[in-house]
Amino acid sequence: MKTHIWDLRQYERNLTSYDGIEDIKSIFEKGGLIAIPTETVYGLGGDARNNQAIEKIYEAKGRPSDNPLIVHIHELDQLKAFTDELTKEIKLLMNAFWPGPISFILPLRKGYLCDRVSGGLNSIAVRMPSHPIGRQLLQLIDIPIAAPSANLSGRPSPTTFDHVYHDLDGRIDGIVNGDQSEEGLESTVLDCTQYPYRIARPGSITKSMIEAVLPNSVVTKTPLNTDKPIAPGMKYKHYSPDTPIKILENFHTKPSSNENWSKVAFIVPQSHREIVPDQAKFIPLCKDENDIKGANHNLYHILHRLDQDYDIEHAYIFSFSLNDNTTAIMNRMMKAANQNVVKGDEL
């Protein structure tokens, strides 16, 4: 399959001036797949009403069929076709955070979306992206688009056009180039099928941010795994480069061992540069321990580069102190490292 490329960066403010929009729309309407940029990561989009399109998504990604997809919309009225009436509490949160990096799991009204989108559940995750190109595309296409991350299943999620091209060229109909994703991590997924709500997948919209809008609305305990996942990223290995990686806790002093560090990478804040072994590869994750936004933005790009740009055998990645702001990145890093943790004083 030839994968078509559309570079829409110069049309960001007004996609209607781009002549190829009808081609993109036609591919979606015919059940084809196109990777589109969002503010979180690039998504592999297909018509959420079309069983063949959804089957193609699972096939292109090598994705387990019980892993549900997130449906992307551009306006609230689209929800009327496949969800029940929204409560005032859910509307309050949607008005506060949409468009933006949060997905809401809602009761599914069957008959409009194809069955495979929900992974066999009676609920559906829905999101309204804020990326200027992605959002305009959804408006111009005007159909609900199912869009998991545009990468091979289990691999680091794509935050640039190059990441998508590396994984999916020749496997999908097209890729829209829209620069690097701003957030860098997948959306927060909030399960609204029960109350208090629960965060099924952490993201940049945190528990404290949600409760600033709707006090005491989020239960503290969140599921880490389940036999029947209600959101992407809950059950299977995710975000992993081919290069072995370990979480590095308590990294405060330079390792004292005489190990040959020349094939080892340290992915740590710039503030920790001086304690990285001299022969090791230093890869800056962010400015310092408080620069969580920078770490979120950079993480997946670094994980992709581990396999493509660096001649290393294994890597250590910095462990942040766990709090409301670091829950999302620690969730992704622990999955990328397959829960492997080492302490700095043991190196």
Q: What is the pLDDT of residue 288?
A: 98
Q: Measuring CA to CA, how many Å separate 174 from each of 28, 36, 269, 301, 319?
A: 10, 9, 36, 21, 37
Q: What is the pLDDT of residue 41?
A: 98
Q: Measuring CA to CA, how many Å separate 285 from each of 179, 318, 319, 333?
A: 20, 8, 11, 12
What tens-digit pLDDT sequence spans the chain (347 residues)? 999 999 999 999 999 999 899 999 999 999 999 999 999 999 999 999 999 999 999 999 987 766 789 999 999 999 999 999 999 999 999 999 999 999 999 999 999 999 999 988 999 999 999 999 999 999 999 999 999 999 998 899 999 999 999 999 999 999 999 999 999 999 999 999 999 999 999 999 999 999 999 999 998 655 544 555 565 555 445 688 999 999 999 999 999 887 899 999 999 999 999 999 999 999 999 999 999 999 999 999 999 999 887 789 999 999 999 999 999 999 999 999 999 999 998 88
Residue 157 marked ligand-binding? yes
Residue 14 marked ligand-binding? no
Q: What is the pLDDT of residue 258?
A: 79
Q: DSSP label at 149?
A: B
Q: What is the DSSP string of 81-141?
A: GTBPPPPHHHHHHHHHH-SSSEEEEEEB-TTSS-GGGGTT-SEEEEE----HHHHHHHHHH
> Six-digit token pair at 244?
């072995």
Residue 253 marked ligand-binding? no
Q: What is the pLDDT of residue 302?
A: 96
Q: What is the pLDDT of residue 220?
A: 67
Q: What pTM was estimated for this model as a whole?
A: 0.93
Who's near 227: CB < 8 A, 6+ residues apart?
235
The residues pairing with 145 across neighbouring beta strands, listed in sequence order, are: 47, 72
CA–CA distance, 316 with 265 (Å, rounded to integer): 6
Q: What is the pLDDT of residue 93?
A: 98
Who's near 157: CB < 8 A, 6+ residues apart?
41, 42, 149, 151, 163, 185, 186, 239, 300
Residue 147 marked ligand-binding? yes
Residue 319 marked ligand-binding? no
Nearest to 172, CA basis, from 18, 5, 300, 15? 5
Domain-wise residue ranges, the chain: 4-213, 245-346
Q: What is the pLDDT of residue 319?
A: 98
For residue 68, whether the previous peptide bond is cis, meaning omega lies within 30 degrees of 0, is no
Q: What is the pLDDT of residue 236?
A: 47
Residue 63 marked ligand-binding? yes
Residue 187 marked ligand-binding? yes
Nearest to 296, CA basis, from 210, 201, 204, 189? 204
List helix spans (H) across the chain.
21-29, 51-61, 88-97, 132-141, 161-168, 207-213, 292-308, 327-336
Handedness of CA 74, 292, 93, 151 (dihedral sign): positive
CA–CA distance, 18 with 157 (Å, rounded to integer): 28
Residue 149 marked ligand-binding? yes
Q: Selecting from 3.40.50.2300, 3.90.870.10, 3.30.420.40, 3.30.43.10, what CATH number does the domain 4-213 have?
A: 3.90.870.10
Residue 72 marked ligand-binding? yes
Q: What is the pLDDT of residue 119?
A: 86
Q: What is the pLDDT of residue 309?
A: 74
Half-sphere CA count of 271, side-chain side, radius 13 A: 10
Residues in the chain: 347
The interaxial angle of helices 132-141 and 21-29, nearest 10 deg, is: 60
CA–CA distance, 97 with 54 (Å, rounded to integer): 27
The SS3 assignment for 297 reads helix
CATH-assigned architecture of domain 245-346: 3-Layer(aba) Sandwich (3.40)
CA–CA distance, 322 with 195 (Å, rounded to integer): 25
Q: What is the pLDDT of residue 256?
A: 83
